[in-house]
Chains A and B, each alone.
Chain A
Amino acid sequence: MNMPVRKTEAVIALPPTAAKILPLPPKRSAWTSRLMARLAAIAAHVVPPIVVLALILAIWEVLCRKAGATLPPPSRVLSETWELIVDPFFDRGGIDKGLYWHMSASLQRVAFGYALASVVGVALGTLVGQSTWAMRGLDPIFQVLRTVPPLAWLPLSLAAFRNGQPSAIFVIFITAIWPVIINTAVGIRNIPQDYRNVAKVLRLNHAEFFFKIMVPAAAPYIFTGLRIGIGLSWLAIVAAEMLIGGVGIGFFIWDAWNSSHISEIILALIYVGLVGFVLDRIVAAAASIVTRGTAAS
Chain B
Amino acid sequence: MSSYPYLKLDHIDKVFVRGSTETEVLKDITLGIEKGEYVSIIGHSGCGKSTLLNIIAGLLPVTTGGVLLENREVNDPGPDRAVVFQNHSLLPWLTVYGNVRLAVDKVFSGVKSRADRHAWTLHNLDLVQMTHAKDKRPAEISGGMKQRVGLARALAMEPKVLLLDEPFGALDALTRAHLQDSVMAIHGKLNNTVLMITHDVDEAVLLSDRIVMMTNGPSARIGEVLDVPLARPRKRLQVAADATYLKCRQRVLEFLYERHHFVEAA
Using a CB–CB distance below 8 Å, which chain A residues touch chain B?
Answer: 192, 194-195, 197-198, 200-204, 208, 212-213, 216-217, 219, 291-294, 296-297
B78 contacts the other chain (CB 8 A) = yes
B residues in contact with A297, CB < 8 Å:
92, 138-139
Chain B positions near chain A (C-beta within 8 angstroms): 57-59, 76-79, 81-83, 85, 87, 89, 91-93, 102-103, 106-107, 137-139, 157
Q: Which of A203, A208, A216, A291 is in CB contact (< 8 Å) with B91?
A: A216
Which residues of the other chain, B, contact A213 by a CB distance below 8 angstroms? 91
Name the residue on B nearest A219 (C-beta): B93
Instruction: Known contacts A203-B77, A293-B137; decide if A197 and B106 are in contact (CB<8 Å).
Output: no
Q: Chain A residues near B57 (CB, 8 Å)?
A: 197, 201
Q: Which residues of B contact A195 (CB under 8 A)?
A: 89, 91
Asked whether A197 and B139 contact (CB < 8 A) given A204-B106, A216-B93, the answer is: no
> Nearest Cβ in chain A — how far from B74, in angstroms?
12
- Taking CB atoms, residues of chain A closer than 8 Å to B77 are 197, 200-201, 203
Closest-CB distance, B105 to chain A (whole angstroms)? 9
In the bound assembly, the distance between CA atoms of A201 and B59 in angstroms comes to 8
**CB neighbours of A294 from chain B (8 A):** 92-93
Please determine whether B91 and A198 come into contact, CB atoms closer than 8 angstroms. yes
Give the CA-CA distance A291 to B77 in the complex, in Å.
Answer: 29
> Could you tell me if A203 and B79 are in contact, using CB atoms closer than 8 angstroms?
yes
Interfacial chain A residues near B78, Cβ < 8 Å? 201, 203
B139's nearest neighbour on chain A, judged by CB, is A296
> Is B93 in contact with A293, judged by CB distance below 8 angstroms?
yes
Closest A residue by C-beta to B87:
A194
> CA A294 – CA B157 in complex, angstroms?
25
User: What's the minimum C-beta distance from A214 to chain B, rounded to whole angstroms?
Assistant: 11
The distance in angstroms between the C-alpha atoms of A217 and B94, with both chains bound, is: 11
Residue of B82, B93, B137 ringed by the most chain A CB atoms within 10 A: B93
